[in-house]
Structure 1
């Protein structure tokens, strides 16, 4: 099975983690996308990768310091291009509505959280509630680099499919214990340095393997030939459609 995940939406053509980037999936027949979620001071859950606003908005400072009403004053698109001026940071509720409207599926990455345990608990509880609003037939994977968050979310929502994210330097001999501890069905290793032997080991243990972030056709083809189930890419529009015929 071969699945293409549009990384932070079609982030090579539109500002990452915005509704515009996610809607572009429909233009390129990409059924799965990846996005990041975090929580604001008032408990609003939003799509955003960084803990600060500096890189992808017209503002500076902490994401967590914001409240929902602040979102109307923040431009999350003009940095990418004039045509995306006044693009807003989306809320999780808006994301769920878009998934239902366009029949899209999502890998939702929970950011590790550098504010407090209490904020992380609110993030998990809010995500659990939001997923109840998905239409029948919509699919999702919940991923994180933080195994504690994944284990807690799996406890909250046992029916959720969860995935452990690993960077190359954190993919140590204890990876299988971490997968078992969290109850994960999927492993998401970093592309750089990943070997065929590692992929074969993951598959032999019964795990689904989705690799991040793969931005060339030849590497995507190699990984699929090794047996990986999916890849995350910034350029889904450049990859052959044959690799999107089957979902995870």
Structure 2
């Protein structure tokens, strides 16, 4: 089963989400890959964090877009989770890509370009991924489908994943129109017939965010490529 799991924000049940500790744990535990979120700092760096604000997962306050990399790196991104992670820092995307290196490992990068527009985000992410030689092991997803179109305009070879919540009628048609590699639906909307139709149309299905192994197994049996899942070992 592990070869089908993309750890949601890393091994986020036993390490602080979207940190190097959580990502390293996914590598060590032999999972298929990781899912992470990218926003952009005031000075144009690719910041790996889910929320638009740093308040929930650090000891700081404010919007990522209003902070420099130096200011972000001065934050504690681990103490909120557990004392043993005190001092853990928010990573930049390049640090995560370097960790992955040439391993047979999938990285799903979600571009957080919906609530806040980050000019140049798509170009910068693609540049970082290509520089590390990881384009063929990276899936770039977003709820902002204009970002996905922009990615394909910049790089036809990029693999894009269409994130969505609501049940779509004939989602494979929508995915094909976007020249997507995969559809990333909210998991309750996934049926076996839907997965079968997508696969026949050349689209992979990667549901999010599954909370338990029983549901994950059912979806894997349907034929999904990966499952984005909250993952972590019980200590």
> TM-score, length-normalised on structure 2?
0.90
Give me the whole-angstrom Cα distance separating, in 1, the residues matched to 2:53 and 2:101.
Answer: 29
In the alignment, is residue 215 of structure 1 matched against residue 216 of structure 2? no
Deviations 1:138-191, CA, capped at 9 Å, x for gaps: 611111111110010011111111110111x2x322634532332101011111
The structural deviation recorded for 1:201 is 2.7
- Residue 52 of structure 2 corresponds to which residue in structure 1? 51
Structure 2 unmatched ranges of 5 or more: none
- The 3 A distance-change label for structure 1 pair 42 and 96 is same
Deviations 1:26-70, CA, capped at 9 Å, x for gaps: 221113111010111111111011111121111122111111110
42-51 vs 200-209, which moves further: 200-209
In the alignment, is residue 178 of structure 1 matched against residue 178 of structure 2? no
Give me the whole-angstrom Cα distance separating, in 1, the residues matched to 2:129 and 2:135.
Answer: 12
- Residue 36 of structure 2 corresponds to which residue in structure 1? 35
Give me the whole-angstrom Cα distance separating, in 2, the residues matched to 1:137 and 1:204.
Answer: 24
> TM-score, length-normalised on structure 1?
0.86
Give me the whole-angstrom Cα distance separating, in 1, the residues matched to 2:54 and 2:84.
Answer: 20
Structure 1 unmatched ranges of 5 or more: 239-248
- Residue 17 of structure 2 corresponds to which residue in structure 1? 16
Aligned residues: 233
- Residue 134 of structure 1 corresponds to which residue in structure 2? 132
Deviations 1:108-140, CA, capped at 9 Å, x for gaps: 111124334xx23x1111112101222479611
- The 3 A distance-change label for structure 1 pair 138 and 202 is closer
- The 3 A distance-change label for structure 1 pair 84 and 60 is same
The answer to whether the Cα contact below 8 Å between 2:12 and 2:232 also exists between their aligned partners in 1 is: no
Choose from 149, 152, 155 the match for 2:150: 152
Give me the whole-angstrom Cα distance separating, in 2, the residues matched to 1:51 and 1:133.
Answer: 26
Matching of residues 1-248 of structure 1 within 5 Å:
3-100=4-101, 104-116=105-117, 119-120=118-119, 122-135=120-133, 139-167=137-165, 169=166, 171-173=167-169, 175-235=171-231, 237=233
Aligned CA-pair RMSD: 2.2
The answer to whether the Cα contact below 8 Å between 1:209 and 1:229 also exists between their aligned partners in 2 is: yes
Give me the whole-angstrom Cα distance separating, in 2, the residues matched to 1:143 and 1:137.
Answer: 13
The structural deviation recorded for 1:196 is 2.4
- The 3 A distance-change label for structure 1 pair 23 and 145 is same
Give me the whole-angstrom Cα distance separating, in 2, the residues matched to 1:50 and 1:89.
Answer: 12
Bigger relative contact order (CA 8 A; separation at least 6)? 1
Give me the whole-angstrom Cα distance separating, in 2, the residues matched to 1:207 and 1:125.
Answer: 24
Deviations 1:64-115, CA, capped at 9 Å, x for gaps: 1111110232111110001111111101111121111766330111112433
- The 3 A distance-change label for structure 1 pair 160 and 21 is same
